[in-house]
Amino acid sequence: MIALTLAEIAAAVGGELRVAGEDTAETVVEGLVDTDSRTMGPGSIFVAKPGAETDGHRFVAAAREAGAALAIVEHVVDAPISQIIVPGAVAALGDLAREVVARVRSRGDLRVVGITGSNGKTTTKNFLARILADEGETIAPVKSFNNEVGAPVTMLRVTYGTRFLVSEFGAAAPGSIARLAGLVEPDIAVVLMVGMAHAGGFGGIEETAKAKSELVVAAKASGTAVLNIDDSRVAAMQEIATSRGMRVVGFGQGTAADVRAHDLVVTASGTTCEIEAGDERIPLRLRVLGAHLITNALAAIAAAGVLGVRLADAVARLETVEIAERWRMQPMGNDRVRIINDAYNASPDSMAAALRTLAQITGPEERTVAVLGAMSELGESAGEEHDRIGLLAVRLNIQRIVVVGPEARRLYLSAVGEGSWDSEAVHLPDQDAAFEYLRSELRDGDRVLVKSSNSVGLRHLGDRLGELFS
């Protein structure tokens, strides 16, 4: 974080300052800001966030011992550390992020990019951060830090030398993206897609679309909306953007897109296509798997173009990316048995895309194996969407369908009902049973997809299989 006095921090978060030891209101701090006491170091700021399982106030003393210089708390804690008492620690974290980003913007050339969408946020964030890193200091979230804690923590890493802040915004509920994006008012709002992910929590896909459009509303009126023209619900956000006076840049494969992909070819070693922008057309050889990741690449290229990055440079930098993110279409195993561990998360859209990729990269002498777990947060649509994935797996001629866990049983029944029987589809109770089955079942030439929502935890099964066949 940039250097601020204790008094300035207290004013930014609207809290009451109580100094300790030799500190005064003019004492300057400029260390890491986090809610995890284990990350603290000299000069850090510890935000004592209450939680369902534990309370951050219990760890204020530990944070001090690790070097923290200040604690932001909701009540005074008996620990030898200066404290700022606030009504809500998480809200204070956001307020501090707003103040820091505003100060950096007022003194430098910081540009802020906000990214949202039902799928692909983290991959797009990683792609764009890779492109921008060669242009200047770039701050982007670690992993999927996109919620009310992770987004501000990332924002607070900016310095006066930072040129680009890439923020990823998830939607826990209506209004979430508006609050988070409102902290920084992005110069560029990137909306990837509107799908069934989390639709259960919003009451349907149309409400999900409204939630994603909050980013366009929260962006600067002088900024740019970078929109997926192939997604009709995202494309409709052009009206919101233009009504606010924003520029619109569309990406996709359709003729209306400003940044387009042509001639996609998916293989086991990656995805190739040609990228067209303006009067330029350049081949892209993406080393990560899956045609659906080209959408994320297009979004990153389009946003980078708005920031002045040449198309040739953006493409060249993307071609150096070997993995989108851990547990996202991550290749593992060996040439005999290849594992694709894509079990960080799952929605109907991403599950379908991963299954199609598995079918596309498997040769005629090889066998497709899909290890599938439940998709969470689908609400009343859960049964129907699991049915649809079971049908799709059979219609793609996936030769072994291994369904794991009781929550995914309907997917298994759908596959059996569609004709996947006689051991082509099996249902196993848990990861351990699945591992034992697969250890004896997998053979040379198998191409294995592991896919489920994060809460199911099949990413760990994918790791075990990757190690087994490494």
The per-residue pLDDT for range 172-227, each reduced to its tens digit, is 788 999 999 999 999 999 999 998 655 555 667 888 899 999 999 999 999 999 99
Mean pLDDT across the chain, nearest whole number?
93
- Fold equal for 108-318 and 330-468: no
Alpha carbon distance 138, 128 (integer Å): 10
The per-residue pLDDT for range 408-428, each reduced to its tens digit, is 999 999 999 887 777 789 999
Alpha carbon distance 87, 13 (integer Å): 10
pLDDT(268) > 70: yes
Can you give the pLDDT at residue 146? 86
Give me the CATH code for the 108-318 domain, please.
3.40.1190.10
Q: Could you tell me which residues come within 8 angstroms of residue 160 by beta carbon, excluding any fewer than 6 positions away?
A: 2, 104, 107, 108
The per-residue pLDDT for range 424-442, each reduced to its tens digit, is 899 999 999 999 999 999 9
- Per-domain residue ranges of the chain: 4-86, 108-318, 330-468
The per-residue pLDDT for range 47-77, each reduced to its tens digit, is 999 987 789 999 999 999 999 999 999 999 9
N-to-C CA span, the chain: 41
CATH fold of 330-468: Protein-Tyrosine Phosphatase; Chain A (3.90.190)
CA-wise closest residue to 236 among 224, 221, 223, 225: 225
Looking at the domain covering 4-86, what would its CATH class be?
alpha beta
Can you give the pLDDT at residue 195? 80
Angle between helices 293-306 and 311-318 (to 10 degrees): 140
Burial class (CB in 10 A: 0-12, 13-18, 19+), 290: buried
Residue type, 441: E
